[in-house]
Copies of this chain bind each other. A is one copy, B any other.
Amino acid sequence: MPKLDLSQLPWRTGSGYPGKLAEPCAGRSVQPLGDPGGLTQYGVNMVRLEPGAASSLRHYHMEQDEFVMVTEGICTLIDDDGAHEMMPGDCAAFPAGEENGHHLVNRSDKPAGFLVVGTRTPTETGYYSDLDMMVKFAGGDFTFTRKDGSPLTAEQTGEDT
C-alpha cells in the first residue's frame, strides 16, 4: 500500500567510497524509501548522521537534480559559499550541472537527519570538489577515478591499487 511502514524498512550504514575515503561517512546511515515504495523516476532516502558524520564527500551532479529537507537535529550544509546551518524543515536544492559542491555534516553532539531526493538517470557523472576524484554511474555500477579518468592512487585511498 502507498503508506510506507518505516519501522520495517532497512537501514544501511557507511558508504561505497574506496578505502579511507569512506571514513567521513562511517557514521552515516541511509534508509531507502522510494525504491520500496515502487518509485523508479527518482530516489528518496532518509539519511541519519551521527555526530561528526558527513552525508557524502563534497560533490555535485551533472545530470541529476538533488533536494534535501532536514528532519531532525542540526545539519551544516557546506558548499562553495561556506557553511550554512540547517534546522528541521529547512530545505536546499541542487540543480543538475550546477558546479557547487555540497554535503551535509553533523557538527552537533546529537544525531541529525534529512530526507534527500535525487533523479534516477541511466548514467551520471559526479565531481568531488575537495579531491581529484569523479564518479561515473553506468549499467548499475559506480566507478571512482581521478578527474582525468585514471585510477585513484594508493595515497588517495590508503589501499594498494
Interface residues of A (CB under 8 A from B): 1-4, 6, 33-34, 36-42, 44, 64-65, 67, 69, 71, 77, 79, 81, 84, 86, 89-96, 98, 100, 102, 115, 117, 119
Contact = CB atoms under 8 A, between A and B. Distances in A.
B96 A41 contact: yes
A95 B40 contact: yes
Number of copies: 2
Given A42-B42, A42-B117, A65-B42, A37 B6 contact: no
A90 B46 CA distance: 11
B2 A39 contact: no
A41 B69 contact: no
A1 to B, nearest CB: 6
Closest 9 A-B residue pairs measured CB to CB? A37-B93, A38-B95, A2-B92, A41-B65, A39-B65, A41-B119, A3-B92, A3-B84, A4-B91
A115 B89 CA distance: 10
